A and B are shown apart, each in its own frame.
Chain A
């Protein structure tokens, strides 16, 4: 167990949140969060993919076979999404229809790539050193991917709550504001990105932690 630190939860959820401080997994947050129900569904799928891929690539990493690790990294998300598609198509057809192309694209999120397969590049500053010290330890990978997944889901849920409540006047498809015409801008991708930017700025001001990616020039 090489990585587990006492502050890993605050690290992965608040200080170095995958979305608002590192820019990973922005597509699902922008595309899916017009509905809280869809946001919860996609968050669950992505957390499952992250944990499964993180743990299994940690095991295959021990064999020092890059081709095998890459195959696992490609196969696990694709199979998980196919299973999710089958379950939603059979039991929740409305969710399946409303998610549309966002469902298969859940398998391609950068948040999955960044927190799973890039473990080996411990010194890669382009990845902001988020996996530094994890190596191929299974328990560390499990905790690391799970907490990062929770951090990602927290942003999804906050953004979805604001967008659905003020954009349509509903929450989890339940009408909250009667005769409310809504703010259509919030339902557009531009509205989601600006909302994310504001949340990121507020978090940066509150935590005092610099949300500056590796390639960005500090002032």
Chain B
């Protein structure tokens, strides 16, 4: 059981990484990895929203929306439902933080717009809603995928801070070097699949 769990966790961190493997979350990962602290705050937010969203959306999709449920055949509402739930949670949590934990709200304030409809969160919800792996496993996989995303983001934030401190040719300074570094990181993550 423990060995299986280790294999699953390694698979989610490297082979199925939503940042550099399936690249579902690379959009926001590139924006929020300019500083390690921003990467940590954004990654932690993704873990909370993705896990809570999956707790709500998995039963709604599999027992009501999906044709396999036998209740209704309204699976086309899936995208809207997932975005609405994750955005509603983000909004609710940001309101609670604003009222009761102002310093923490100050940390996530800059990224709330990018959390309302986020590729990494929606990608996780869609991926595990389709896999028929059971409610508990779906929530666990969503949590682990988001943790893997946090790991990849912190790793890449460190790479970016090292690149920024090095002297680079004028043409590659800034965004080009970030994209090339992301390409090399994606290549490194793909090599783990081959191993």
Contact = CB atoms under 8 A, between A and B. Distances in A.
Contacts of B76: 82, 85-86
B31 A24 contact: yes
Interface stretch (B2-10, B43-51, B52-60, B115-123): B115-123
B24 interface: yes
A211 B178 CA distance: 11
Contact of B117 (A77, A124, A189, A197): A77
B110 interface: yes
Interface in B113-154: 113-114, 116-119, 122-123, 126-127
B179 A196 contact: yes
A108 B122 contact: yes
| Most central of B34, B79, B114 by chain A CB within 10 Å | B79
Contacts of B164: 216-217
B87 interface: yes
Interface in B89-118: 91, 110, 113-114, 116-118
B187 to A, nearest CB: 4
A23 B87 contact: no
Interface string B17-56: 0001001111110110011001000000000000000000
B184 interface: yes
B171 A104 contact: no
Interface string A186-219: 0011111110111011101100001111111101
Interface string B140-182: 0000000000000000000000001101101111111111101
Nearest to B127: A101
B114 A78 contact: no
B117 A108 contact: yes
B122 A104 contact: yes
Contacts of B119: 27, 105, 108-110
B186 interface: yes
A117 interface: yes
A21 interface: yes
Contacts of A117: 113
Contact of B30 (A26, A73, A86, A124): A26
B117 A104 contact: no
Contacts of B24: 27, 31, 101, 105
Contacts of A68: none
A1 interface: no
Interface in A64-84: 67, 70, 73-75, 77-79, 81-82
Interface string A166-178: 0000000000000
Given A74-B87, A108-B122, 19 more contacts: A23-B179, A27-B24, A30-B23, A73-B117, A79-B80, A104-B79, A108-B119, A190-B190, A191-B183, A196-B183, A198-B180, A201-B176, A201-B180, A204-B175, A205-B171, A212-B175, A213-B178, A214-B34, A216-B174
11 contacts: A26-B26, A78-B84, A78-B117, A86-B76, A105-B123, A189-B26, A193-B182, A196-B183, A197-B182, A201-B171, A212-B175
Enumerate the 7 nearest inter-chain pairs by beta-carbon distance, A residue then B residue, closest first: A215-B34, A193-B183, A197-B179, A212-B174, A194-B183, A197-B180, A201-B176
Interface of A: 20-27, 30-31, 67, 70, 73-75, 77-79, 81-82, 85-86, 101, 104-105, 107-110, 112-113, 117-118, 124, 126, 188-194, 196-198, 200-202, 204-205, 210-217, 219
